[in-house]
Each structure stands twice: as structure tokens, then as C-alpha cells.
Structure 1
Amino acid sequence: MKTILLLCLLVSALPNQAQQLQLHYDFRHSIDPGLNKQNFASLTFEYFKSNDSSGSFLLKMQTDFNGETNNIGQLFVQVSKNLRYWRPKIYLSLLYSGGLGVAPPSYGYYLTNSFGVGAAYPFQWKGAWLSASVNYRYTTFLKPSHDPQLTFYFGKGFFQYKLMLAGSFVGWSENRNQGTDLTRSQRGKKIAFFADPQVWVKITKTVSVGSRAYLYYHVLTPENRLQIYPTLALKNQF
């Protein structure tokens, strides 16, 4: 929690803030009741700042109200920073993600920390804002995992940004044996994938309605299956 508070203080100290708050309702129980015991709401805060001359910064914090009686069940934190102090438009890419949660009846768990370093290339194409990066990923399992990670961000506005398409796609490998009793007998690597394409329609200057679709592969279950969970959402930019 100290880390999260420090991140909030860092954001509040930065000038020219561009930030948004999103409220989602996730329908994953209705779609996949075998793996999800309930639908739930989630609250997402995002801060993004870009400076072509020196890089960009992204902070994302997502709180899921999937605990007992709709209490907070999970908190996810993601931070990424691109840096460039040289002429070629290839950026140094630094990444962090992690979090924590509560599972019934009342025990806690970690979303395992992962750290990344690599290279990123932001660019524009036909009016869209795009960024691709390749990173070395270190995941702090009980048996640490060293892996490549590929990340792609996109965003494009239509009709003077009254309609917005955006999202990210992330793919990586990780150890099947994570050092736990459950995975100790497993060998080799598995490929994992996450994406969150989203669409937004602006209804006022700062408020939009839309949807985000969460795509998971080898993230929530070890089964070889793609999970797709859409949401209905409100977004306020401020």
C-alpha cells in the first residue's frame, strides 16, 4: 500500500495532467459461470503523459469489486515509462505490474510482481497513435521466470474524437513451474496473452459510454482456452 500511495503522490505532483476514471460492469459470470462466481463492478484510474522529446509515463490502477458482498477483491497496479535522450526515436522502456487480492473465505494473495526493461517505438499511422515494445520480463515467482514480452498499444479517434477506439495487446512466456506445490512437477514454458480492446462514444465534453473486452490466455486458468469477457462502462476524463 505504501507503493500505491507514493505513486498517487507522484501523479498529483506532475503538471499538465491528463487522466481518466472508468467504471465498468463485468459480465464474466453470465458468460462463463464455471470459472467466475459472479459479475462485478470495477473502477479504473489511468494517468498518461507524453512528451515527444523525452518519453511518456503511464500509471494504471484497477480495483475489482469481486469480493464477498461486492467488497473490494483485487487491486492491480501497472506503471510504464519510456525514456529517450538521443536522436533515434527508439525509447528505453521500463515496466512494472503487480497487485494483491482477497479470496474466500478470507485469505489474501499476491498478483506476482513483474519488471521489464527493453525498447519501445511509438509512431503514427493513418491518424492512429501506436506504440510497440519488446522487453525482457522478470517475474518474481518462488522460482523466478526470465522471459520476453511483446506489447502493442493503439488509439484512434473518429468524428472529431466523438468515437474512440483504443487498447493494448500483451504477450509473454513464463515458467510452468512457479515454485509452488501445485506447479512443482511441471516443466518448460507456457505462452500467455492479455488484451483489452475498447470503444468509447462521447456524450458530453468529458463523459463517455463504452465497452472494454478483456481477453485472457493462460492468465486466469492453465487450460488452453481463450477467455473473452466484455464490460459496459462509463468514463470521465479530467
Structure 2
Amino acid sequence: MKNFTSVLQLTIFLSLLYLSATAQNLQLHYDFGKADDGELNADREHFTTTLEMFRPDSLGSTFFFVDMNYDSENGMSFAYWEIARTFKLPKIKNLRLELGYNDGMFIPSAWLVGLQTPFTIGPASISTSLYYRAEKGAKSADAQFTGVWFMMLFKGKVTLSGFVDVWSQDDYNLLGDKDGKRVVFLTEPQLWYNIHKKFALGGEVEFSRNLFTFDGDVEVMPTLAVKWTF
């Protein structure tokens, strides 16, 4: 109950803080996935809030999100955020320069620079990005591919959205020393039923490999959620 109270307080605070911005939403998820990494229990049974903002302009677009987990008696137990800025390139219609920054608790920060290609297929808006990835403390540079999709169906009643990330990062041996690279896979498709233009019910399913468990298994973490769009 204490965690839920903290979630409500944060939801109200963030709603007021970003009320003047455009094209953003606040999501409240309940994670109930089951996972393990050998003998380590990695189950999730907690609330997560996600604040997203996407704002296009004449020069390109800005996107950010902030994730916060509430798996502690005192409230928030984890926070992570990403921000990305694209810039249109002169005389090149569907190619943009993109700069990004990722950071969070217990996670090394990373700078990203690359190229983004936005396009549409039927009702779907899609973008693909290929980055040079520089993670703090990494033995050498890495690469990352990101794909993002968004579409509305059934006269705007249903929204399909999500992303897929694939990147390389340092691997470690049993002694805890850096030993080559490993590939991390993460995708989070979302499904929403839009009860109102501002309120939706739905959720997401997180599929990952080498993200928070390292036994080679693909982990599946579903959520149920509500979303408020400002």
C-alpha cells in the first residue's frame, strides 16, 4: 500500500510538471513477470511508471522517457531515462542525424550518435536508427540498432506501439573481468485500447536476452497498464 501511495503521489507531481508540454503521456504499469538467472530470483511484482514525450519541430524531433520502479518499502527503487534528438539533413528527405543519452541507477551512462530513417507502411509510422554507442567504462566502442513503431487502428480505438533495441556491450568472465562482448536484445510491444482520446487501458510484453539475466534465456515480462495522454 505504501508503494501504491508513492506511485500516486509521483503521478500527480509529474502530471503537473509536464502539463504545459505537448505530445506526452504517463503510464502506470504493474509488472508480474517471472524469471531467474541460475539460482538468482529475478521475478517482478511491482509498479512501474513511464513518462514519455515526443515533440517534432522544424529542425527534427525530441524524444525522452523516464522509467521508475517501485519495489521498495520506501517507494522508488530504480530509475532510468533516455533522451534523443534528431536533426533533419539538408536536401536528404528521409535521413536524420540523431544524438542520444541513456542513464540510470546501477546502469553505466551511454552516449549515442547515428542516423535515423523515418518512413511509413500503411497506417504504421516507423523509424530505424543505427548508432555508434559509447558506454562509460566500456573497454571499446559498441554499436546499437533501434526500431520504433506506432499505429492506430479501428478508427483510433486501438494503438499498437513499441520498440526493439539490439546492442553490444562488454561481457564478463566468472572472475568479474571484462572478457569480450555480448549482444543484448530488448523489445517492448505495447497494445492500448483507447477509451477516450486521453485515457487508455492496455499493457506491454517485454522480451529480453542478456538484459538483466545472463544465462542465455529469453525472458518474457508482461504488464497491465493505464495511460493518460496530455
Same fold per superposition (TM over 0.5) = yes
For residue 71 of structure 2, give the secondary structure of its aligned residue in structure 1: coil
2:78 counterpart of 1:74: yes
- Give the secondary structure class of the aligned counterpart of 2:116: strand
Structure 1 distance, partners of 2:43, 2:222, is 16
Q: Which amino acid aligns with 1:210?
A: G
Per-residue deviation, 1:203:
1.0
Q: Does 1:236 align with 2:217?
A: no
Residue in 1 that maps onto 2:176 = 183
Aligned residue for 2:48?
A: 42
- Identity over aligned pairs, percent: 27
Q: CA contact under 8 A between 2:186 and 2:208: conserved in structure 1?
A: yes
TM-score w.r.t. length of structure 2 = 0.85
Bigger share in strand: 2
Q: Residue 135 of structure 1: CA displacement?
A: 0.4
TM-score of the superposition, structure 1-length normalised?
0.82
Q: How much has 1:211 moved relative to structure 2?
A: 1.0
When residues 225 and 70 of structure 1 are mapped into structure 2, their CA distance, relative to the original with a 3 A threshold, is: farther
Distance across 2 between alignment mates of 1:70 and 1:129: 40
Within 5 Å, give how 1:78-89 maps onto structure 2: 78-88=82-92, 89=94
Q: After the TM superposition, which segments of 4 or more aligned residues of structure 1 sit over 2 Å from their partners?
A: 31-38
Match of 2:123 among 124, 127, 130: 127
Corresponding position of 2:148: 153
Q: Which amino acid aligns with 1:230?
A: P
The one-letter amino acid paired with 1:128 is: A
Gaps of 5+ in 1: 1-7, 101-109
> Whose relative contact order is higher, 1 or 2, with alpha carbons under 8 Å and at least 6 apart?
2
Q: Give how far 1:84 is off.
A: 1.2
How far did residue 32 of structure 1 move?
A: 2.8
Please give the secondary structure, in 1, of the residue aligned with 2:97: strand
In 2, the alpha carbon distance for the partners of 1:16 and 1:71 equals 26
1:144 Cα shift? Answer: 4.0
CA change 1:95–1:158 in 2 (3 A) is: same
Q: Which runs of 5+ in 2 are unaligned?
A: 1-13
CA-based RMSD? 2.2
Give 3-state SS (helix, strand or coil) of 2:176's partner: coil
